[in-house]
Amino acid sequence: MACPYLEYRSADGHASFDHERAYCTASSSLVQPMRADICNDRYDLDHERDCEIYRAHAEVE
């Protein structure tokens, strides 16, 4: 299951994109495609285990 903080956006408030881009609501920022692979649990990655942004945000809640 993908990270609950992952969204795909076609704009960031300042500019629009040709393709939707990964956005992390935990860090309030667009993320690089390799980071989105972690968010989507691709390639045997797990967002709960491999993403420091997710872990830090989960500790706060």
Joined tokens for residue 47: 């967002």
Parallel/antiparallel/unpaired status of strands 29-30 and 6-11: unpaired
The 10s digit of each residue's pLDDT in 24-37 is 999 999 999 999 99
Q: Determine the pLDDT at residue 37.
A: 97
Q: Determine the pLDDT at residue 12.
A: 82
pLDDT < 50: residue spans in the chain: none
Host H or E run for residue 18: strand 16-24
d(CA 61, CA 45): 23
Whole-model pTM? 0.85
